Amino acid sequence: MESADGKTCDRIRNCSRRVVLEIETVRSQHADEFNHDEDAAGYDADVSIETHPIRAGYSDVLSWVAASAEIKSSHTVLELGSGTGNLSILLPKCARLVCVDVSENMESIALSKPVLAQHREFIKADVLEIFEKLPKFVDRVVSTYTLHHLMEPEKAIFLRKLWEHLPQGGVACIGDLMVVTASEVEQKMKVYKATYPEVTNALKEEFFWHLDRQSNVAREIGFEVESRRFSDLSYGLKLVKG
Ligand SMILES: C[S@@+](CC[C@H](N)C(=O)[O-])C[C@H]1O[C@@H](n2cnc3c(N)ncnc32)[C@H](O)[C@@H]1O
């Protein structure tokens, strides 16, 4: 409601701006729970077993993300959830590679692997809070098997942050655990219950992307969206800021 001098209206605007900022700078709720410090030693052996439904398509997903991000030698690339560096080593040469993860143990394994980037740095941070520590724009954002640790509203915040930090023509490529619709979660939980109970648990306790819904959110923000299926649970999502 506006007072005669317009001050009430200003207060409301200031107030709502403050609320938005508080939401935007939040650390993701489950960052500590999904920190992979404890899994680091066995991680690379684990991901090599692609007969397991969670790992099926792993190497194809990483190769697709590395190729589809259209990285050039002049680019600054942000990699979210860099883990043991399995995606980093596939990325084409770029000017600067900023790797982000909450796990120091995963990073210590990544450090032993060669990357093509002219300059690589690691920042121990949450995938949402990192955006506040970055320069305004990064040319490319890549991520594999990490962002399903964000809850659905956090994914929407993440997509908006992507839009704010990519220049026109900027690309984000995400490979991750996804289902097409929310209703598939229950259905797949039943399918895997007897054979792979840990998959059923992951579907229950983690936040697999709902491809239809989150693609729509990305389109509403303004992205051009392309997706690709690699296995029953793994998909790639390419977002272009057109
Ligand atoms: C399943 S691993 C994927 C690692 C690598 N990208 C790959 O494809 O092999 C997930 C990684 O994300 C990190 N992680 C989980 N939640 C995170 C968060 N909120 N912020 C930053 N890193 C996170 C974990 O520590 C772990 O290294």
CATH code, domain with 122:
3.40.50.150
Residues 182-221 pLDDT 10s: 999 999 999 999 999 999 999 999 999 999 999 999 999 9
**How many Cα atoms sit within 13 Å of 122 on the Cβ side?**
19
Q: Is residue 3 part of a domain?
A: no
pTM: 0.91
Q: Is residue 22 part of a domain?
A: no
Establish whether residue 149 lines the binding site of ligand 1, counting it when its CB lies within 6 angstroms of any ligand atom: yes
Q: Is residue 167 part of a domain?
A: yes
Range of the domain at 208: 29-240
The full DSSP string for 71-103 is --TT-EEEEES-TTSTTGGGSPP-SEEEEEES-
- Token pair, residue 229, equals 């299926």
Which of 146, 207, 208 to mutate to test ligand 1, by most ligand atoms within 8 A of the CB atom?
A: 146
Residue with CA nearest ligand 1 atom 22: 101
Which of 30, 32, 34, 59 to mutate to test ligand 1, by most ligand atoms within 8 A of the CB atom?
A: 34
Q: Is residue 43 part of a domain?
A: yes
Residues 77-114 pLDDT 10s: 999 999 999 999 999 999 999 999 999 999 999 999 99
Q: Is residue 24 part of a domain?
A: no
The answer to whether 176 and 148 are in contact (CB under 8 A) is: yes
How far is residue 169's CA from residue 140's CA, in Å, rounded to a whole number? 10
Q: Is residue 21 part of a domain?
A: no
Total of domains in the chain? 1
Instruction: Give me the helices (H) in 92-173, please.
Output: 104-110, 152-165
Residues 23-75 pLDDT 10s: 445 899 999 999 999 999 999 999 999 999 999 999 999 999 999 999 999 99
Q: Is residue 19 part of a domain?
A: no
Q: Is residue 2 part of a domain?
A: no
